Structure formats: structure tokens, C-alpha cells
Amino acid sequence: MLVWYGERGVVNAAVTFLVENNATVDFLKCVRWANGAIPSWLGKISNVKFVVELGLAEFGNPDLILVCESAGDPRPYCIFLEAKVIPYSASAISNRQGMTQRGYNSACNGQLSLKYRFAKALEVWDGHQDRIVEPAAVYRAYRRPPSDGGLGDPQSAPRKLQKRQILRQVLAPLHLAGLPLDHFGFLALTWDRDPFYQLEVEFLPRFLDEGGVDVFQTFSGQVGWVAYHHFEGVPGLSEVVKPVLQVMVGSMVPTELDVATATWPRLISQPVRLMNHGIQQLMHEMEQLSVRLFGRDEVKTYAGSISIKSPSRVEAKIVPQERAQQTFLLLGVRPEWPIQDWSGLESRGQKVMDQPFRFVQLPEVASEALGVAELILTQQRDVIVGAGRD
């Protein structure tokens, strides 16, 4: 029995299939390039080399590098692929605060930005030096704060790779030394319905030149996106990848609800008994309110929440949260239920056990919190306990 799992599992399963079936060109034809065109060299590929999860030190670890030899061109084409088994928007982190944000370099836009910088470093590497270093001008462009067009790179010197074995045994034999920038491609493999490059600029990879100008749009012919459902364009590939995705996200194509809730954060389970007396009392009153509206059998009280259930699932949640010495209540209902009146409160998404809810933060005053909760839950009562709840 062989089970693939995670982004690495998807990539390994796909690469194994592509190699065994000589189907790499068919796979690359599935890519949606940002300029809408198919690269001219794609139809001339004579050989492809795969490098999976190569450690590039300060430039990150690309999920996959494809080095394509093209008939009539002595120089190869190198494609960096970053894979996410979530929508791109769920991985991307805003460029407004840049690389000082925790996890930025692991975000899809952060990873692709680092691969662009590595391509700039390869462009000036002669193949003999014992390290690959990005141009100082490029480093300074990324070092600038986001307010000045950079990403606030916290590195104190240009990014580099100086693993001798990787330079000598992997990169040099692939003939990547001195490879011009127009021979590189940057791909995102994501669980999406639409291309990531249609998003707002603040979530796109930053491709800065030596003058600090973002040339992402200039590279539109070298920036691509491929979704898992595009694998159906390669006979047999989707059948290999589908079992991996079903374990993690359940389908090859995200639903509209999946897309809408992609960036919703998860709630933290916190025991009510450890919170202040006021919250404990308010949760008790919320339980009484819920029982009055829906009946005792529909209301379940747990250590950190109250759930209003139908036979098949949780329909509404009341959850206390304590963060930064602030305690508050969140009330949520299923996102598909119509909401006529949020009483001026802003709704936002959250996830509970991987299930999406539309939540509002209830007022701090207990009487007001109960009033808002009764208004929202009363509106939902007929939907939640009616025939349509299943």
C-alpha cells in the first residue's frame, strides 16, 4: 500500500506519473500563463529533468524544479513550481508589511519572490564560484521597507547559497549558471478555480529589479498557474492525484463556499471555567436563551462553546475567546443561511473543526449581547430547526 499526503505527496505522485508516462509536455500545456500565451519553446522540449524539494538555503526550498531542454536552443528553460493544497489566497500574505511578518517566506507569494531572486542570482553565477549570491542592487531593493516599494527583508546581507554539493552536483550539471532571466518560469500549483495573478497586487509575488521597480507584469509570459482540476488535461494524472486531495480537501475543485472561506482563521478552544465570572455567567444565560429558542435536545454545552445542532451537523455556535487580556463572545451561524439584520455588526469568517461559520463579536455589555444573540438566532430558528436543516 502506498499513500501520498500533503503538498510533497502531491508533487511526488505527480512527478512519478509524469516521468513514467513521458507526459511532462502535456502537463506544461495545462499551465495558464499570465499573458494568455503558450511559450514558443514548449513545443520544442526534447528532455526534462526534475529536482524535487531542493534546499536552496536562504532562497527557500522549491517544491519542484523543472529543467527543460529545448531543440535548437543550447540553454535550458528552468521552471520553479510552488505547490499549495489550499487556495492561493489562503497562503498569500499581504506585501504591505512585507517579510517582517511571521511566515511570509512560506506564503506562496513569498516563496515565488525568493525563487525570482534566486534566478537573478543564477544569472550572475559563473558556475565556478563556491556560492551563489543575489546582486547587491536586488538585495537593496528588497531590503527597503514596504512603504518605499520593498519588502523590508530582515537579512543583513544579500541572500546566498553556498552548499558545495548542491552547486557542484546539482545546479552546475543542469547548466543553470549564467542562465538569462527570460529562461526562467515561476508557477503556482494551487487548489483554486481562478488564476492567482488576477488578485490585488498586494498579494502577488514581488519581482523587483536592480532599480527597485516591480516587473511582475513584465514577466507575465513567465508567470503561470495550474490548478489541480487542470490535471484532467493529462490522461491518467488526475486519477493519481485525486486520492491525495480527497484526504486533505475532499475534491479536485473547490466549491464557491471553499473559496469564500479560504482565508478564514480558526477559533481557539478555550475552557469557559478558566475565564472570568462575567463570561461564565453570560455563557450560562446564552445556554438558557438557546434552549428557549430551539429546545433542550438541540443545544449542547461543551467546555469551550455552545452548539445548536441539527441531526447531521452543528448549525450555530457561541464561542468565548480570550486574547491579549480581552474576553469576548462570538456568535456564528452557517454561512449559507440568509441574514437579514446583523444589527450593524460586521460579520467575518471563522472555522470550527474545518467547518465554516459566519461570526459576529457580541457587545461587551451582557444585556446587549443577549439582545443581539436573540435577534440573530430568532431569525435563523425556522431555517435551523425546519425541514431544510438537513
Q: What is the pLDDT of residues 140-185, one digit of tens each?
A: 999 999 999 999 999 999 999 999 999 999 999 999 999 999 999 9
329, 282 contact by CB (below 8 A): yes
Top pLDDT among 174 and 349 is at: 174
Burial (0-12, 13-18, 19+ Cβ within 10 Å), 212: middle
Quick: pLDDT tens for 269-284.
789 999 999 999 999 9
Q: Of 212, 206, 88, whose CA–CA distance to 138 is shortest?
A: 212
**Cα–Cα distance, 151 to 144 (Å, whole number):** 6
The H-or-E segment that residue 290 falls in is: helix 277-294
**Cα–Cα distance, 180 to 387 (Å, whole number):** 64
What pLDDT shows up at residue 313?
82
The domains located in the chain, with CATH, are 6-260 (no CATH), 272-389 (3.30.1460)
**Cα–Cα distance, 89 to 259 (Å, whole number):** 9
What pLDDT shows up at residue 389?
43
Grid coordinates given for 379? 431569525
